[in-house]
A and B are shown apart, each in its own frame.
Chain A
Amino acid sequence: MRKFTLLDGLVLPLDRANVDTDAIIPKQFLKSISRSGFGPYAFDEWRYLDHGEPGMDCSKRPLNPEFSMNQARYQGAQILLARENFGCGSSREHAPWALEDFGFAVIIAPSYADIFFNNCFKNGLLPIRLPEDQVDALFKEVEAKPGYRLVVDLEAQTIRTPAGVAYKFEIEAFRKHCLLNGLDDIGLTLQHVEAIKTFETKHRAAQPWL
């Protein structure tokens, strides 16, 4: 997994609550058996005016000019600013894959759905929770100032605005450690093979029908 330390990135606002993973990556793209290539289809139904199907050449499709992702000022964004309960619905990891493939490395929102939140960390994406009023303030600033960037410092757990305001964010110690070092969960768990085997033996003895 790629390491995450510090990011100075352009911010893209997505001003809707309860954005579900069906919206982040519609189901027709879930037929793929690969992990990559979902970026061009991220938010497909909102982003394009036609109906997308896997394998389409997205550079030729009609764009929805209203959607922030298509506006010139947000091109190259690496930070997604979103509203509450982001990533609800289906457990599809294709959602973080699509966001990562599109170029996002950080999401900022007041809250996330549990499975999505968890899936982000497995893909080097950092989902940050900030209080509602701070997210609101960020939305106002992004919309007011083209080229708006934020500096996300994982080590220090801060988000710095161009005006020099620093918002502090929380992250679980273990997740932070894994992201900072780009650690692979499976590799980490396999360091405990003996503990798993011991547990398994005991567990099967207690419930031999399993």
Chain B
Amino acid sequence: MNAQTLYDKLWNSHVVRQEADGTALIYIDRHLVHEVTSPQAFEGLKLSGRKLWRSASMLAVADHNVPTANRAAGITDPIARLQVETLNNNCAELGVTEFRMNDVRQGVVHVMGPEQGATLPGMTVVCGDSHTSTHGAFGALAFGIGTSEVEHVMATQCLLIKKSRAMQVRVEGDLRKGVTAKDIALAVIGQIGTAGGTGYAIEFAGSAIRKLSMEGRMTLCNMAIEAGARAGMIAADDTTISYLKGRPFAPQGELWEQAVAYWKTLHSDAGAVYDCVIDFDAAKIKPQVTWGTSPEMVVPVDGRVPDPALMSDPVKREGAERALQYMGLTANTPMTEIYIDKVFIGSCTNGRIEDMRAAAAVAAGKKVAKNVQLALVVPGSGLVKQQAELEGLDKIFTAAGFEWRDAGCSMCLAMNADRLSQAERCASTSNRNFEGRQGPGGRTHLVSPEMAAAAAIAGHFVDVS
């Protein structure tokens, strides 16, 4: 048999049947659900009189709309409340496991799933959410789907899709101090662009990737979608296996041994062929900061805001001009001279325990700068929050002047009360800096947790490396 990529292995083991034009019916092992993209799917299923194929494959949580403060008061926004209640009712009615708002296991769906061991190597994982690519960190085939597809999976446990092309992003060497998986992600996107991975499934490989913790791997795969790739993935190895051991949804005993034996085969074979390979030198990556309104508009922190006048492609130039205007920035300004108004540490990109620790280490014994009106730390899940509090990280944050909140998407997309006001500038550990993403007129700079915490303390961006 020919040498296969990890993607080939995951794909081949899930094909139910194939059309003449290559469209395949793919079996789905895990279906994660949140409140925003599921109500219309549940409704569609009911209206057509169809049944849920396998409720045990599903795991649901409300994350986008939930408040991160004063949960005892419930959700005050009536429209948001209705959406969360709709999820609660649908799950109760159809026997779908859901972690409700006041359950300690509640959290951002992409933090909660892996934490529970609900994402396992070799699985196909889908969710009506583009950052489902996160779960590829476990050697799984994981990708975001639309609501019609959510309904399709509910009714058939399958999806109709075509195989993507395979891209390998190889990062070799050692990262410098202060440089994280987030910086790798932004550096990759800066180079290949937000459409660079369109039509591809990206496998991240190389010694720098193998050295990453599971948290770091999730951060990286999370942002594969920001490079245009529906799926990002990393081979399963000992790091993956030890992360999963003992988690509630992971297999136990005899089955665990059997599973581990299989998981160890989930890597690309030597000599496997990719449609495209891109190499990065880990040692050359510096902490990254975005300057514009697309994740590809990014520079190293010791760089400057680029000058659109020097861009030869007219579409790019116009985009950069618009972005600078929206962001209220002038070409050639050093990134370290950009002052911020708010800080957001959290999201499915950087809301895990390791991120909390990294930010706390920077904030310890310091104070948030006067010009920073709000520095928000939002753990990715109730369990992350619990663990952080056990380690005393909450105390470090609050002593430094950060606010310590309950788990949810929060200011990553500002569907709840946490948002930027017009023209406010934010150092954010989330994944999207689109216009209005964190609030109408808000200006987002994407950075790592270390960089966000350091910016909170200094009041402007600083080089943590």
Contact = CB atoms under 8 A, between A and B. Distances in A.
A157 interface: no
A141 interface: no
Contacts of B155: 186, 189-190
A32 interface: yes
Contacts of A33: 39-40, 43, 82-83, 86
Interface stretch (A60-68, A80-88, A161-169): A80-88
Nearest to B127: A91
A190 B156 contact: yes
Contacts of A188: 160
Contacts, number: 190
Interface residues of B, number: 81
Interface in A13-50: 16-18, 20, 22-23, 26-28, 30-35, 45
Contact of A209 (B40, B120, B315): B120
A156 interface: no
Interface string B300-324: 0000000000000001101100100
B29 interface: yes
Closest 6 CB pairs of A and B: A209-B251, A122-B148, A33-B39, A119-B146, A93-B146, A91-B130
B130 A192 contact: no
B262 A84 contact: no
A127 to B, nearest CB: 13
A51 B198 contact: no
Given A55-B79, A85-B198, A209-B251, 20 more contacts: A17-B318, A22-B434, A31-B80, A32-B79, A33-B82, A51-B440, A54-B79, A84-B195, A88-B195, A113-B228, A115-B145, A173-B20, A174-B160, A186-B152, A190-B50, A196-B53, A200-B27, A203-B14, A207-B259, A209-B256
A28 B65 CA distance: 10
A192 B148 CA distance: 18
A92 interface: yes
Contact of B19 (A85, A119, A174): A174
Max chain B CB contacts within 10 Å: which of A96, A118, A172? A118
For chain B, what secondary structure do more than half of its interface residues adopt (helix, strand, loop), or is it mixed?
A: loop
Interface of B: 13-14, 16-17, 19-23, 25, 27, 29, 36-37, 39-40, 43-44, 48, 50, 53, 64-65, 77, 79-80, 82-83, 86, 120, 122-123, 128-130, 132, 144-149, 151-152, 155-158, 160-162, 164, 194-195, 198-199, 225, 228-230, 251, 255-256, 258-259, 262, 294, 315-316, 318-319, 322, 413-415, 432, 434-437, 440
A28 B315 CA distance: 29
A185 to B, nearest CB: 6
B84 to A, nearest CB: 10
B259 A91 contact: no
B230 A85 contact: no
A147 interface: no
A22 B436 contact: yes
Contact of A185 (B27, B132, B152): B152
Contacts of B258: 208-209
Nearest to B65: A31
Given A17-B315, A45-B440, A88-B228, A207 B435 contact: no
